[in-house]
Amino acid sequence: MALNIKRPNGTEDVLPRDAHKWHTIEKIARETAESYGFGEIRVPTFENTDLFLRSVGETTDVVQKEMYTVMAKETKFTLRPEGTAGTIRAMLQNGLLNEALPQRVYYILSCFRHERPQAGRLREFHQFGLEMAGSQSAAADAEVISLAKTILDRLEIKNIKLFINSIGCPACRSEYHKALRAYFENRKDELCDTCRERLDKNPMRILDCKSPICQDIAKDAPLIIDYLCEDCSSHFENLKKYLGNLKIDYEVNPKIVRGLDYYTKTVFEFVTTEIGAQGTVCGGGRYDGLIEQLGGQHIPALGFGMGIERLLLVMEKQNCLYLAPKKCDLYFATMGDAALETAMALAHDMREFGFFAEFDLMNRGLKAQMKYANKIGAAFTIVLGDNELSEGKAKLKDMKSGEETPIAIDEKFVLNFENIYMNNVLNTVEDETGNSLFAFTEGDN
C-alpha cells in the first residue's frame, strides 16, 4: 500500500542506524568548542521576522526568496534561516553581553530555507555554530578559524581547503559600492530582475547571485580587497600572520563575500571538492555592527556555521571513522513465563548499572531469539528456562569467542556480570590494527 503522507520535499529522516554518525560530529564539535571556552546556548526555532530583515539583509537571497514566514494573528514569525541572528538576540536579551567579555557560545540547531533540494542543500538542514562577542582583534578571528579546523581535523576529514577574504567595513565598502555600480551599470539590462533591484540598494549582493548569467557578468567585477581602508587592511594582514603562526594553510579568495549582509572585515570558508557544487562545509566571519544594529552597544563579534549534512556527505565519501553505536551488552533468551519475569527483573537491574540489556518481547522460540541476539550484535547472551531457575545458575555466552561462563542467578548477578564483562571486553579494546573497537569505518559497519 502506498503511503498517503510522506516527509516534505527537502527534508530527511535520521534513522537509529545512522544516529551514531550525527553523534560523532556533535560530540567532537561540542568537546572542541568547550576546550576553547565556549558554552552551549539554545534558542527558539522561530523568531520575529524583523530580526532577520534587520540582520541578514532585505536584499539577500535568504530574505527575498528562501525564508519560511507565517502570520500569527498580527505578528510575523519566521523559521530561522541561520543561527547567528537569533543567538545574538538571545545574548542581548539575557544580558550576556553585560558580563565579562569575550562571551563565547555554541549551538547545534536546525535551519530552514526554501531552496531547490539537491545533495548537500536541504530545506531543513542542521548546523553546528558558534559566536564570540567582545574582541576586535584579528587574533580572535584566528582563534575561531583554528577551532573550526580542529573540529575538521578531529573528524579526520581530508582535502578541505581554507579560503579567506576581507570585505571591509562600512567606510571602505562605500567606495567599493561605487566601483561595483559603475561596473554593473554597463550590463544592467542583462542582470536578473532581483539583481537590477540590488544594483542601487546593495550591489555586493549581485556577487552572491545564483543565476549563471549574473555570475558570468560578475566574474570580472572589481574586488573588495583592492578597496580596503588602512584599518581593515591591517586587520587582514594580522589575521594572515596569526594563521601562519598557527601553521594553518589558507588561500586568499577575493571573491568570497558570504550571503548575509551582517558580515564585515574577515570572511572565510572551508571547502571540499568531493561533494559537488555544495562544497562549503563551514563558513563564517566577523560582524562588528550586528549587535549595535539589534539595539545593543557597539560590540564586535564573529562566528561560523558548520553544515552537519555536508560534513556527513564528506565523511561517507572518505570512509571516515565514527563513534560506535551502543550495542546490547546482554540479551536474555527466555523459555516460559517464569523465565520472562526473571529476565525482566534482571534486565531492570542491569540498566540501573548503565548496561544495555534486552529480553524477548515477541514470543519467539529459543532458536529465533538467538538469531535475533546475533543480529543486534549482543556482546553476551544467557538462556533462562525452568532448569536454570531451579538450579539458580546459567551459562553466560560471549558471542564473539563462543566461550561460556557459569553465573549465579541471584542478587549479585549484575556485579558478577560486570566482572566478566570487564575481563572479556574492556581488556581487548585494541584490535589487531591498533584501532579502538569503539570506532569503525562505514565499511566495517
- For 273-317, the pLDDT digits (tens) are 888 777 999 999 999 999 999 999 999 999 999 999 999 999 999
Same domain, 114 and 41: yes
Q: What is the dihedral of CA 278, 41, 163, 28, to 10 degrees?
A: -80
**How many residues in the chain?**
445
What pLDDT, on a 0 to 100 scale, did the predictor assign at position 201?
84
The DSSP bridge pattern shows strands 301-307 and 280-286 to be: antiparallel
Q: Tell me what percent of the residues of the chain surpass a pLDDT of 70.
A: 95
Rounded to an integer, the average pLDDT of 263-267 is 94
- Nearest Cα to Cα of residue 333 among 322, 321, 346, 351: 346
SS3 124: strand
Cα separation of 225 and 232, whole Å?
9
CA 344 vs CA 23, 179, 334, 406: distances in Å: 29, 75, 10, 20
Asked, for residue 93, whether it belongs to a domain, the answer is yes
Asked, for residue 199, whether it belongs to a domain, the answer is no
Per DSSP (E only), the strands in 287-328 are 301-307, 321-323
Same domain, 315 and 398: no
Same domain, 71 and 163: yes
Rounded to an integer, the average pLDDT of 322-329 is 94
Task: Please say which residue of 289, 321, 353 terminates a domain.
Answer: 321
Cα separation of 91 and 93, whole Å?
6
Q: Is the pTM of this model over 0.85?
A: yes
CATH number at residue 252: 3.30.930.10
Q: Which residues of 30-66 are buried (b: 16+ CB within 10 A; e: fewer)?
A: bebbeeeebeebebeebbebebbbbbbbebbbbbeeb
Q: Which three cell numbers stand for residue 43?
A: 534558542
Same domain, 149 and 244: yes
What pLDDT, on a 0 to 100 scale, did the predictor assign at position 330?
98
Cα separation of 343 and 294, whole Å?
59
Task: Please say which residue of 300, 321, 342 terminates a domain.
Answer: 321
Same domain, 384 and 312: no
Q: Which three cell numbers stand for residue 38?
A: 565556549
Q: Which residues of 150-175 are buried (b: 16+ CB within 10 A; e: fewer)?
A: bbbeebebeebebbbbbbbbeebbeb
Cα separation of 384 and 394, whole Å?
7
Asked, for residue 418, whether it belongs to a domain, the answer is yes
Domain span at residue 350 reads: 330-444
DSSP string, 324-344: PPP--SEEEEE-SHHHHHHHH
Q: How many domains does the chain have?
A: 2
Per-residue confidence band for 1, with pLDDT thresholds at 50, 70 and 90: low
Same domain, 148 and 297: yes
Cα separation of 294 and 383, whole Å?
65
- pLDDT tops 50 at residue 445: no
- pLDDT tops 90 at residue 261: no
Asked, for residue 421, whether it belongs to a domain, the answer is yes
Same domain, 260 and 138: yes
Same domain, 304 and 338: no
Rounded to an integer, the average pLDDT of 182-200 is 90
Peptide bond into 222 cis (omega under 30): no
Cα separation of 121 and 381, whole Å?
44
Q: Which three cell numbers stand for residue 227?
A: 578597496
Rounded to an integer, the average pLDDT of 31-58 is 94
Same domain, 281 and 400: no
Angle among Cα 51, 36, 271 to the nearest 5 degrees reads 65
Task: Please say which residue of 321, 341, 370 terminates a domain.
Answer: 321
Asked, for residue 213, whether it belongs to a domain, the answer is no
pLDDT per position as a tens digit, 335-393: 999 999 999 999 999 999 999 999 999 999 999 999 999 999 999 999 999 999 999 99
Per-residue confidence band for 425, with pLDDT thresholds at 50, 70 and 90: low
Angle among Cα 384, 389, 394 to the nearest 5 degrees reads 55
Same domain, 315 and 335: no
Same domain, 163 and 270: yes
Asked, for residue 389, whether it belongs to a domain, the answer is yes
Asked, for residue 220, whether it belongs to a domain, the answer is no
Q: Which three cell numbers stand for residue 233?
A: 587592511
Asked, for residue 25, whether it belongs to a domain, the answer is yes
Cα separation of 76 and 356, whole Å?
46
Same domain, 270 and 356: no
Cα separation of 295 and 290, whole Å?
9
Residue type, 176: Y
314 touches 304 (CB < 8 A): no
CATH number at residue 343: 3.40.50.800
What pLDDT, on a 0 to 100 scale, did the predictor assign at position 16?
95
- pLDDT tops 80 at residue 137: yes
SS3 408: strand
Q: Which residues of 323-350 are buried (b: 16+ CB within 10 A; e: fewer)?
A: bbbeebbbbbbbbeeebbebbeebbeeb
Residue type, 315: M
Residue type, 345: A
Cα separation of 22 and 24, whole Å?
5
Q: What is the biggest distance separating any 2 CA atoms in the chain, rounded to whole angstroms?
A: 94
